[in-house]
């Protein structure tokens, strides 16, 4: 099994030092990384930290975060990754839970989280935004630094002495702590040991066939296990490159496709939501994963819908590996693909280097085909939840980790997720405990009560919706609720929609009937979906007739570029057929824009409404 001492010996070899460690806003070499890690060690030493001590890390500077995590691992310091988007109340709770020896944070968080008043040392810096006009400033001899207290991470560290590495780190030492939503409103602090971390990353390396030539494109948030462990840490383990040149936003989708090609990416670590966005904006970029260097797309963190999986692979002519794991299993536990014998679309594949069991409520093992809770045993499991014995006792029994996911094993040994035991919403790969959000909404002075729940969504997997009862006579609206949430919650946890009711339906015992509220909203969504689907069939038929091709040849991804019969004459015929069929009149602009079936469906749906 790998260990951090041996990894850093490799990183300090001459042949590795010049290699790219990370391509962020700019590129950083392994020489820069190891130099930075030694200087962070200097800070650890100056603060008198010893192996096993805990520090909190929070920054939007990805190089700072990546190198701090690796430094923590190398010096045996337990790093706690805390999302800078956390509100002050939640941050205070988590700091109290973890009792760290100090903080490495962006200067902006010091006031936001009131860190001056907390116990422990404070190491802060400024995350500089990219400035315009740098070239001219340089030419005119402008000064680099912006003054005292305004130094960047590297400038602040430059003043620190370098420290030697400790000889070895005990594998049982806690490597890092990440927070996960539990069954209560307060997140749990998952403690992962060095042993678990390297056991799992060794498995990942083998399954995804990573080596020193690999280039890992991972732009997931570095406060999620998939973003940080399958990003800089996995890259360092393999002396490979970590590519995170932009943050994910919808208008960056074309740049993501471009970056995959430009940087000769071999592995793309992502989540289903990102794949759904890429698929929606695929037109013209279908060859993005066809470069000879490209190996695999790996998706994790959330259920991967069969339709998305199939459509994505068909459109981009590539293979997606579906990885199942939780924060508690480091990263992965089972993998559907890339090997043919472990791949089955719609499943989470088979466990590798760990074992699965499916049990009923009484803990009895179930046969294949029967649904029950999924349990995992292996070296990749958490040590415990920090300062939460009750949660640890419930989750870890006789070495088996209780995932809370309901799964079925088929005859061939493939596992499939069919539900969730705990009330958890996974939206865009982020776990949300609905009670956590309801609790925050309820603190609004004009709210009587509220309930939050997940609603299926084709892009995000699930969306969090909130139903709120306001005080009589108050002028409460969705904007006020969202604004209120924004001050206390990370952006991903803010409800996508807020509905208002005069009262929430309840059981006799006074419990809110979530299902009754949920069904009410789902009905509206289904009505919309049915309308869209009915247009689709008609459009396919019109296209098949106009372009003189079999109906099966037309699908939602058909374009004038990829269908031979779709020439300019046939285009007009297609348009006329659509007009007749849906009793609409299309404008010249609409006719000009309609060069894909997807576009046609969008326009027809709008018109026919």
Positions touching other proteins (CB under 8 A) are 251, 254-255, 257-259, 261-264, 284-285, 568-569, 571-572, 575-576, 586, 588-589, 591-593
Q: How far is the CB of 576 from other proteins (least distance, A)?
A: 7
Nearer to other proteins, 125 or 285 (CB): 285
Closest CA to 578 of 606, 550, 552, 553: 606
* Phi, psi (degrees; rounded to nearest 5) at 596: -140, 155
Closest CA to 493 of 435, 445, 421: 435
Nearer to other proteins, 241 or 429 (CB): 241
Q: How far is the CB of 260 from other proteins (least distance, A)?
A: 9
Nearer to other proteins, 12 or 283 (CB): 283
Burial 75-97 (b: 16+ CB within 10 A, else e): bbbbbbbbbbbbbeebbbebbeb
Q: How far is the CB of 287 from other proteins (least distance, A)?
A: 11
| Cross-strand bridge partners of residue 297 | 268, 320
Nearer to other proteins, 31 or 591 (CB): 591
Q: How far is the CB of 277 from other proteins (least distance, A)?
A: 14
Nearer to other proteins, 28 or 208 (CB): 28
Tokens representing 24 are 């962020």
Q: How far is the CB of 607 from other proteins (least distance, A)?
A: 15
CA-based torsion, 399, 403, 404, 410: positive or negative:
negative
Nearer to other proteins, 512 or 593 (CB): 593
Q: How far is the CB of 240 from other proteins (least distance, A)?
A: 18
Which residue blocks in 243-283 are alpha helix, DSSP H?
A: 253-262, 272-280
Nearer to other proteins, 3 or 579 (CB): 579
Q: How far is the CB of 458 from other proteins (least distance, A)?
A: 23
| Cross-strand bridge partners of residue 334 | 324, 351
Closest CA to 271 of 245, 240, 298: 298
Nearer to other proteins, 479 or 569 (CB): 569
Nearer to other proteins, 176 or 289 (CB): 289
Tokens representing 67 are 């190198």
For helices 568-582 and 597-608, the axis angle rounded to 10 degrees is 30
Q: Which H or E run contains 545? A: helix 514-547
Are the C-beta atoms of 35 and 8 separated by less than 8 Å? no
Nearer to other proteins, 14 or 132 (CB): 132
Tokens representing 430 are 């982020």
Nearer to other proteins, 254 or 369 (CB): 254
Q: How many residues can be counted in the chain? A: 609
Q: Which H or E run contains 607? A: helix 597-608
Q: Which H or E run contains 426? A: strand 425-427
Q: How far is the CB of 65 from other proteins (least distance, A)?
A: 24
Q: How far is the CB of 293 from other proteins (least distance, A)?
A: 11
Within 8 A by CB and 6+ apart from 486, the residues are: 494
Other beta carbons within 10 Å of 146: 13
CA-based torsion, 393, 396, 397, 399: positive or negative:
negative
Are the C-beta atoms of 411 and 417 separated by less than 8 Å? no
Nearer to other proteins, 110 or 591 (CB): 591
Calpha distance 21→174 (Å, rounded): 24
* Phi, psi (degrees; rounded to nearest 5) at 326: -135, 170
Q: How far is the CB of 262 from other proteins (least distance, A)?
A: 5
Nearer to other proteins, 100 or 245 (CB): 245
Nearer to other proteins, 177 or 594 (CB): 594
Q: How far is the CB of 257 from other proteins (least distance, A)?
A: 8
Closest CA to 112 of 95, 98, 97, 130: 95
Are the C-beta atoms of 77 and 44 separated by less than 8 Å? yes
| Cross-strand bridge partners of residue 374 | 358
Q: Give the CA angle between residues 175, 270, 87 to the nearest 5°.
A: 60
Within 8 A by CB and 6+ apart from 489, the residues are: 87, 90, 436, 437, 440
**Beta pairing, strands 354-359 & 102-106:** unpaired
Nearer to other proteins, 264 or 486 (CB): 264
Tokens representing 371 are 């649904």
Q: How far is the CB of 572 from other proteins (least distance, A)?
A: 5
Q: How far is the CB of 606 from other proteins (least distance, A)?
A: 13
Q: How far is the CB of 531 from other proteins (least distance, A)?
A: 24
Q: How far is the CB of 250 from other proteins (least distance, A)?
A: 10
Q: How far is CA 387 from CA 181, 187, 587, in A?
A: 15, 12, 65
């Amino acid at each position: 099994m790998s260990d951090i001492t041996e990894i850093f010996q490799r990183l300090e070899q001459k042949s590795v030092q010049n290699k790219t460690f990370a391509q962020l806003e700019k590129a950083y070499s392994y020489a820069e990384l190891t130099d930075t890690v030694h200087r962070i060690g200097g800070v650890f030493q100056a603060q008198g930290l010893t192996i096993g001590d805990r520090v909190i890390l929070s920054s939007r500077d990805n190089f700072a975060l990546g190198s701090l995590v690796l430094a923590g691992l190398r010096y045996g310091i337990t790093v706690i990754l805390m999302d800078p988007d956390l509100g002050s109340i939640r941050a205070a709770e988590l700091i109290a839970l973890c009792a760290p020896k100090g903080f490495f944070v962006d200067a902006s968080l010091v006031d936001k989280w009131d860190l001056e008043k907390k116990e422990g040392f404070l190491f802060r810096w400024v995350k500089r935004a990219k400035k315009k006009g740098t070239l001219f400033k340089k030419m005119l001899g402008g000064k680099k630094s912006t003054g005292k207290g305004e130094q960047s991470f590297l400038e602040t560290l430059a003043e620190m002495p370098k420290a030697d590495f400790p000889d070895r780190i005990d594998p049982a030492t806690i490597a890092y702590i990440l927070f996960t939503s539990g069954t209560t409103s307060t997140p749990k602090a998952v403690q992962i040991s060095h042993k678990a971390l390297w056991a799992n990353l060794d498995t990942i390396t083998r399954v995804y066939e990573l080596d020193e030539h690999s280039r890992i494109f991972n732009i997931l948030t570095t406060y999620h296990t998939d973003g940080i462990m399958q990003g800089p840490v996995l890259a360092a383990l393999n002396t490979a490159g970590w590519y995170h040149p932009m943050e994910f936003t919808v208008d960056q989708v074309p740049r993501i496709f471009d970056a995959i090609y430009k940087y000769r990416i071999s592995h793309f670590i992502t989540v289903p939501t990102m794949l759904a966005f890429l698929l929606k904006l695929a037109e013209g970029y279908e060859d993005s994963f066809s470069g000879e260097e490209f190996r695999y797309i790996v998706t994790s963190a959330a259920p991967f819908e069969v339709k998305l999986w199939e459509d994505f692979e068909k459109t981009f002519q590539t293979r997606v590996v579906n990885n199942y794991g939780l924060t508690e299993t480091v990263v992965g536990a089972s993998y559907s693909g890339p090997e043919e014998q472990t791949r089955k679309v719609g499943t989470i594949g088979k466990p590798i280097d760990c074992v699965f069991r499916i049990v009923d409520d009484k803990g009895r093992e179930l046969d294949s085909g029967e649904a029950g809770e999924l349990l995992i045993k292996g070296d990749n499991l958490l040590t415990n939840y920090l300062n939460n014995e009750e949660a640890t006792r419930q989750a870890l029994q006789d070495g088996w980790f209780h995932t809370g996911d309901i799964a079925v094993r088929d005859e061939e040994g493939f596992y499939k997720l069919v539900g969730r035991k705990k009330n958890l919403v996974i939206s865009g790969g982020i776990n949300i405990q609905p009670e956590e959000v309801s609790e925050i909404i309820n603190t609004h002075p004009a709210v009587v009560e509220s309930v939050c729940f997940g609603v299926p969504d084709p892009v995000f997997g699930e969306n969090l919706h909130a139903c709120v009862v306001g005080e009589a006579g108050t002028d409460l609206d969705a904007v006020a609720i969202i604004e209120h949430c924004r001050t206390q919650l990370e952006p991903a946890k803010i409800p996508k929609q807020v509905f208002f009711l005069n009262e929430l339906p309840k059981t006799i015992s006074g419990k809110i009937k979530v299902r009754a509220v949920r069904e009410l909203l789902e009905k509206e969504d289904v009505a919309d979906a049915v309308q869209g689907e009915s247009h689709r069939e008609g459009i396919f038929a019109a296209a098949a007739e106009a372009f003189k091709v079999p109906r099966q040849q037309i699908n939602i991804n058909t374009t004038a570029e990829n269908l031979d019969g779709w020439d300019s004459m046939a285009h007009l015929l297609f348009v006329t057929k659509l007009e007749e069929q849906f009793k609409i009149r299309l404008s010249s602009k609409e006719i000009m824009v309609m060069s894909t079936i997807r576009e046609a469906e969008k326009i027809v749906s709008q018109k026919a409404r």
